[in-house]
Structures are given as structure tokens and as C-alpha cells.
Chain A
Amino acid sequence: MQAFLTGAYPHSEELVAAHREHARKRITKEELNKAVGKDLEALIRLQKVEGFKQIVDGQLDWGDLLRPFSKLYGIEKGSLTRWYNNNTFYWAPRVTGKIEWKDSVLKGILSPNANKLIVPGPYTFSLLCETPFYRNRDEIMFDFAKALNSELKHHKVPYIQISEPSLVFSPPDENTLEKSIDAVAEAIKGIKAQTLLQTYFGPIEAIYPAVLEYPVDFIGVDFIETDVNALDSGFAKGLACGLVNSRTSSIERPEDIAEQANNIEEKLEPNEIFICPNADLDLRPGWVAEKKIASLASASKIIGELA
């Protein structure tokens, strides 16, 4: 069983210090970039050492998940907003015109050493942006999906994760869910990659089993928030099990992760199963994230040995 990361990664204490020094104009942008580069190198190395096949760049230089997409035509940086029920914030994209893709928004910030690209999903984007231009959010979903499709085609990576925390934090009604499924189809149209729709910060029950209709290879479920007993079997997709809690500093025991993964597999009978953190590990300090990754990797080996 494989393990992988699902989002932003914490900054090392050295990078924290570098950001602070840069903010106070005591070091140059080049020196800050060097510090980012060191963190990135360490993160890539860590994932490889732990045997992960899907390698992320930890969005170390993104600002937040949505920030690069504020560079799409028709969008500008809006107001500072709370990131779900966390003590972190993002700059809401303010949509002031028709959303269009003119050039890559991830150019220059995406590491060539990463092979998995994580992007916000259309439903989540439509809920988290400010909308003085569009009259309804369905239109935003589709125009954003089209722009996303151009961006994904531009990068040609083998693994793509579409992050949709809002699907489980603020579940859509049936009609919007259907449109969101169409929007995801639009976003990945013609893309040759393994695709994952990752949900987090909420239980999946409200959109289960309809969530299986998304035209992706894997669905990610936050099992810190989801009670597996509330789900029926017949998970006719690959399943990414969020079993490591990115919102606590307690380190999970690999044996416990392995046992939970086995129970989930027995109960839901997915096509294939991966294990991962339930959300972005940048919600905790770097040393905590490293230990959690080590637990995840050990759990992956235990499951492999039992299989």
C-alpha cells in the first residue's frame, strides 16, 4: 500500500527565520529564495527516502492553495479570510471579470522535482472566492474548470490532486453537486494522469455515495472526521485514506494507522487504497510533520508485509 502527501508542508524553523528577516528587509529576496530551495530539497528527499512515489512540492512558495490562481485573468487578490476552522488564513481571490487562462499561473513556482500537482477544485474555488462579477457560482465553477484544464495541460504531470475541502465542510445540494461533477470532468478533460479528488475538514457522509460519480481515479476521505461505519461498502473507486491527523501534534502509531486502513479496506472494498494525512501538514510545525510522515511510511510497510 502506498502513502503520499496531500497538500502544503510546514516551513522549517530556518525558513521561518528567513521569512521574518526578509519582512524586516534584513535579507534579500534571493537569500529568502535560497532558504525556500533548501526546504524544498529536504522535502523532496524525505518523500523519496520514505519510498513515496507521488512527490509533492509542499506548496512552500505558494502563499496559500488559491493564491497562484489569483493570477488568472479576471481575478485579483481579495480580502484576508479564515481557512476553514483553522488558525490560518488565505487571500480570497476576488473575481472582477470573466475567468480566463492566458498563461500558466504556476510557472516558476512549481518544482520540476515534484510529479504530483495539487490544485483547488471548482466547487471549493467557487465558494472561497469573492464574486462581484458573476451572478451565480455555477458559472464560476465552469469558467474556473476551463482555466484549470489549460493549466493542467500545461504541466503534464503523472499525478493530479484536485482539493475539494468545501465539498465536505459546506456540502452542496444535489443540483450543485451534479454541476460540480461536470466541472471536474471539464477540468481534467484530455488529461493523461492519475487523478485524485481529495476531501478534508469534514465527514464525507453528506455526499456519499454520490461522490463516487466524480470522473476521477481516487477519492480522498478525511477519516479523522468521517466515521467509516456510516459508509456503505462498494466504494467503486480508489480510496485515499486520510488517517494521519494534520491538526494535532500527537504522533500516530504506525500499527494503529495500519489497523485502521485494513478495517476501512475490509468495510468499503475500494478498488485500491492509499494512506495519507487527512489534510495539509502545514497546520503543524515541521518536526511534527516529519514524524507523522515517518509513521505513515512505517504503516505503509506494515500493511505491505501483511498483504
Chain B
Amino acid sequence: MNFKTQEIGSIDKLSFRTKAAKGKPLNERDIAEAKAWGAKLNVPVDEKLLSKKEKTKDDILAIRDLSSLMAIRFFEKSGLDIVYDGEQKRIEMYQHAIQNSNGFNFVGHVRSFDDKYYNIASCENHVSMKNLFHTDELKFIANNTKRGIKVPITGAATLAYWSDNKYYIEKWAKENLPPKKRNLSARREFILDLARNVLRPNIKSLVENGATKIQIDEPAASMFISKEDLEIFAESFNESVKGINCEFSMHICFSDYGALFPQILEMKKCSEHAWEFANRDSTKLGGTKETRNGYSGLDYFKEYGFEGNVGLGVINVHSNFIPSPELIRDRVLYGASVLGPEHILVNPDCGLRTRSWDIAFEMLSGMTKGAELAREAV
């Protein structure tokens, strides 16, 4: 089937989930919201559990499972072909991976934009894996859906670029090398240690436990765009998946896409690139280059002869503007006109974490309707 629909990563966590994780009691509003979504998604909500003033560790885990199940049903009900659980069991994509790895200390919050922050860690020792951090999550999801599953996992380069590389910089400072070469060597060793020691064992475990599609998230891909850095970037992907057979995709967003070529084509096992486009696009209907001005990045795939698939970002995740199914259709058909309908999957630009569930649900429902319209039009 052409134009399969999928999510990219995280969605927001409802207040019953976030408050429970912090050990805070839930108020009537939190419980009412959980019940309303439970009813809408046909997920039984244990009101007694949510109302407990003092929650045990098992209670908190049960609430996390409830949140995960709701997110799975949320995606299913909005009509997606490929689902996950909106990363309901992770704090966020960076912190979750880092706190399950050895060698890091968190140093505090840094603003990403507006009121969004992330907790930055400093790498102060040799990097290795502390715990497998996605396997249990996958098992739960596999037991609770019959749809296709795609596991998102944060990539080695992004984990490295978002951290302070103190340990490897100090290690390489002992070498008598020019600063540029020294910094590059420190960066390379850091990224490749993450790829081999953290990413690879997690990916291996996911595949052993039934994962058939894994998306490696590299939103920071274009932070370092020298030829040498991009070669390291491609190498890090190849090292992360070395010896493992699975369908692999890569998600990149808010980046200078042109800068990534041709090196990203060296990721030989990557059969799909899922990118953000709608953020850059006009909201006018139509399929011309002018109306679809946000999708010029597709031309790179054509120019460089990429034979895989593209996950087409058709929803701007940082706006409450809900694209109509017709606008989604036109974006999808434009993508199909550039790369061929058999090469297009349909998804939001990025995870919908910054939108409310009401808005995200409307967006995704509209997206699946738009994909259907595009199928009818082809």
C-alpha cells in the first residue's frame, strides 16, 4: 500500500502520568481527563488507582502502562498504520538514553526554544551501556497492538552533540595535534563509543525481541557539517546497526538537509529518511513547486539517486494549525510526484509532544484522511 501513515516519536504526557511519576497526588481534573480519554479510546481507567494519595512503586508503573496503552490506542484510533506508544515511558529522547548509560553526569537545564528545555549531561568517563532501555517498552507495545510497530531510538551523534564532551576532549588534549584535528578525533571517539557500546546492544536486543522497524532519531544531524564530521555521522549509523538485520529508518528535522549529502547515502542499511518539511511549507492548496515551497529538500534524494523511501513530514508540530485532509493530500501528492508514490510514507514533521492530545488527535486523524485522499488520487 502506498502512503502508509506513521508517527515520528513522542506525544505529550497527560497530567495523571506526569504527576504520578513525580509522586504528586492527582486532582479531580487530572482524573477526569484520564477518564475522558479512556472512554474515547476504549481503555479501562482504574479510578481507584489514580485516586490513591500515596502510590507505591507498582502503582506508578501501572499508571505508566496505562499511559502507554492509551497512547497506542490514540494512534490506532487516529488511523495510523504504524504505531508506537508516543514514548510515554521515557522522560524525553535524550535524558532517557543518557541516564541508562555510564559515563555521564547531568548538569542542568538549557533552553531549546520558547518554554522547551532539556537537561544537558556532561560526559566525564568512558561511555558504556548501563541498562537496556527500550526492550521492555517494545514488549509491552507488541503485546498490545496488531498494527505495524516502529521503535524510535535516539542516535549516537545526537546524544553526543547534545552533551558536553569533557572526557574525550581531555583525553585527546594529551595528543600533540592541531586543535581542529584534536577536537574532531575527540568527537569521533565519543560518537563511535556511543554507537558501539550503547546503541548497538539496544538495537540488537530490540531485534531479538521482535522489532521489525527501527527509526534512529538524529535531529542534531546537521550541527557539524564538515566533510569529516558527516563521514563520522554516517559511520556512527553503520556502527550502530552493524551485524543486525532489520528495516532501519532515520529521522532528521530542523536541519540544513543539503549539507548532509552525499555522506548520508553511505548509511547502507538505512532504507527510509523521515524529515520535517511542513514547518517550511505554505498552507495553500496545490501541487506546484511554489505552493509546496517547503518540500524542496526532496530534490536532494532525486539528485543523488536515493532508492529508498521518504517519510514525508506533513504536519508542522510547533503550531496549532490543523492542516485539512486536502492540504495533506496535496503535500503527499507533491512528494509522490518527485519520488514516486511507492517511495512515500506519511508522518508529522517530528513528535507531537508540544501539542495537546486534542490537537494532536485532530492533526493525526486529518493526516490519515489526507493520505487516503492521496491514495484515491493516484
B243 contacts the other chain (Cβ, under 8 Å)? no
Q: Provided the pairs A79-B280, A249-B166 are in contact, do residues A285 and B112 lie with their beta carbons within 8 angstroms?
A: no
Asked whether A136 is an interface residue with its Cβ less than 8 Å from the other chain, the reply is no
Known contacts being A82-B256, A249-B120, A285-B107, is A87 close to B161, with CB within 8 Å?
yes
Is B114 interfacial (CB 8 A cutoff)?
A: yes
Knowing A82-B254, A227-B179, the reply to whether A87 touches B112 (Cβ < 8 A) is: yes
Please tell me if the beta carbons of A11 and B111 are within 8 angstroms of each other in the complex. yes
In the assembled complex, B95 has its CB within 8 A of some CB on chain A: no
Whether B110 pairs with A282 at a CB distance below 8 angstroms is yes
**Which chain A residues numbered 28 to 49 have a C-beta less than 8 Å away from chain B?**
none
In the bound complex, do residue A80 and residue B318 qualify as a contact, i.e. CB atoms below 8 Å apart? Answer: yes
Complex alpha-carbon distance, A87 and B224, angstroms: 11
What 0/1 readout, one digit per residue, does chain B (216-232) give for beta carbons within 8 Å of chain A?
00001011110000000
- Across-interface contacts of B113 in A (CB, < 8 A): 63-64, 80, 88-91
B120: chain A residues at CB < 8 Å are: 249, 284-285
Residues of A within 8 A of B266 (CB): none
Q: Are A81 and B115 in contact (CB-based, < 8 A)?
A: no
Report the minimum CB–CB distance from B91 to chain A (whole Å). 13
A277 to chain B, nearest CB (A): 15
B 238-263 contacts with A by CB, 8 A: 254-256
Binary per-residue interface labels of chain A (276-307) against chain B in the complex, 1 for a CB within 8 Å, 0 otherwise = 00000011111110000000000000000000
Q: CB distance A248 to B110 under 8 Å?
A: no
Q: Is B117 an interface residue (CB 8 A)?
A: yes
Q: Is A20 within 8 A of B166, CB to CB?
A: no
Contacts of A86 in B (CB 8 A): 223
Residues of B close to A282: CB separation below 8 A: 110-111
What residues on A are CB-neighbors of B102 within 8 Å?
none
A80 to B254, CA, bound (A): 7
Q: Determine if A10 is an interface residue (Cβ-Cβ < 8 Å).
A: yes
With beta carbons under 8 angstroms apart, the residue of A16, A82, A85, A89 that contacts B117 is A16
A263 proximal to B (CB < 8 A):
no
Task: Tell me the bound Cα distance from A81 to B219 in angstroms.
Answer: 12
B254 touches A89 (CB 8 A): yes
Q: How far is the CA of A24 from the CA of B108 in the complex (A)?
A: 21
How far is it, in angstroms, between the C-alpha of A82 and the C-alpha of B318 when the chains are bound?
Answer: 14
* Given A87-B118, A248-B166, A283 and B222 contact (CB-CB distance below 8 Å): no
Is A13 close to B, CB under 8 A?
yes
Distance of A173 Cα from B255 Cα, bound (Å):
24
* Separation of A248 and B158 alpha carbons in the complex (Å): 16
- Closest partner residue, chain A, to B166 (CB atom): A250
B154 within 8 A of A: no
Question: Which residues on the B side are within 8 Å of A287 (C-beta)?
Answer: 107-108
Known: A85-B223, A227-B179. A19 touches B254 (CB 8 A): no
Which residues 233-283 of A have a CB within 8 angstroms of B? 248-250, 282-283
- Contacts of B279 on A, CB cut-off 8 Å? 79-80
| Nearest B residue to A77, CB-CB | B319
Contacting pair B15 A24 (CB below 8 A):
yes
Contacts of A179 in B (CB 8 A): none
Q: Shortest beta-carbon distance, A279 to chain B, in Å?
A: 13
Is A153 positioned at the interface, with any CB of B under 8 Å from its CB? no
B26 to chain A, nearest CB (A): 13
**A109 close to B (CB within 8 Å):** no
Given the contacts A10-B110, A80-B279, A87-B220, A249 and B122 also touching, CB distance less than 8 Å: yes
Chain B residue total in the interface (Cβ 8 A): 33
Task: Tell whether, in the assembled complex, residue A82 and residue B110 are in contact, meaning their CB atoms are under 8 Å apart.
Answer: no
Complex interface: chain B residues within 8 A of A284 (CB): 107-108, 110, 120
How many Å from the CB of B291 to the closest CB on chain A? 12
Of the four ranges (under 10, 10 to 19, 20 to 34, 35 or more), the interface on chain A belongs to: 20 to 34
Cβ of A189 within 8 Å of any chain B Cβ, yes or no, is: no
- Which of B111, B220, B222 neighbours the largest number of chain A CB atoms within 10 Å of its CB? B111
Residues of A within 8 A of B255 (CB): 82
Q: Which chain B residues lie closer than 8 Å to A227 at the CB level?
A: 179
B164 beta carbon closer than 8 Å to chain A = yes
Write out the residue numbers on chain A whose beta carbons fall within 8 Å of the beta carbon of B316. 79
Mask for B70-113, Cβ within 8 A of A = 1, else 0?
A: 00000000000000000000000000000000000001111111
Cα distance A81–B110 in the bound complex, in angstroms: 17
**A81 and B254 contact, CB distance less than 8 A:** yes
Residues of chain A lying within 8 A (CB to CB) of residue B110:
10, 87-88, 282-285
Q: Which of A22, A248, A250, A285 contacts B109 (CB 8 A)?
A: A285
Chain A contacts of B357 at CB under 8 A?
Answer: none
Q: Which of A146-191 contact B (CB under 8 A)?
A: none
A23 proximal to B (CB < 8 A): yes
CA distance A19 to B111 in the complex (A): 11
In the complex, the chain B residue whose C-beta lies closest to that of A130 is B280
Nearest-Cβ distance from residue A177 to partner chain B, whole angstroms: 22
**Cβ of B111: which chain A residues have Cβ within 8 Å of it?**
10-11, 16, 88, 282
Answer yes or no: B361 CB below 8 A from chain A CBs: no
Give Cα distance in the complex from A63 to B114, angstroms. Answer: 6
CA distance A152 to B164 in the complex (A): 37
Q: Given the complex, which residues of B lie within 8 Å of A63, measured CB to CB?
A: 113-114
Whether B109 contacts A249 by the Cβ 8 Å rule is: no
> Least Cβ distance of B19 to chain A in Å?
10
Can you sample 29 A-B contacts with CB below 8 Å?
A: A13-B108, A19-B117, A20-B115, A24-B15, A63-B113, A80-B318, A82-B222, A82-B223, A85-B222, A85-B223, A85-B224, A85-B225, A87-B161, A87-B220, A88-B111, A88-B112, A88-B113, A89-B112, A89-B254, A90-B113, A91-B113, A248-B166, A249-B120, A249-B166, A250-B164, A282-B110, A284-B120, A285-B109, A288-B107
Chain B interface (Cβ < 8 Å from any Cβ of A): 15, 107-115, 117-118, 120, 122, 161-162, 164, 166, 169, 179, 220, 222-225, 254-256, 279-280, 294, 316, 318
What 7 A-B pairs come out closest when comparing CB atoms?
A: A285-B108, A19-B115, A89-B113, A85-B223, A79-B279, A249-B164, A16-B109
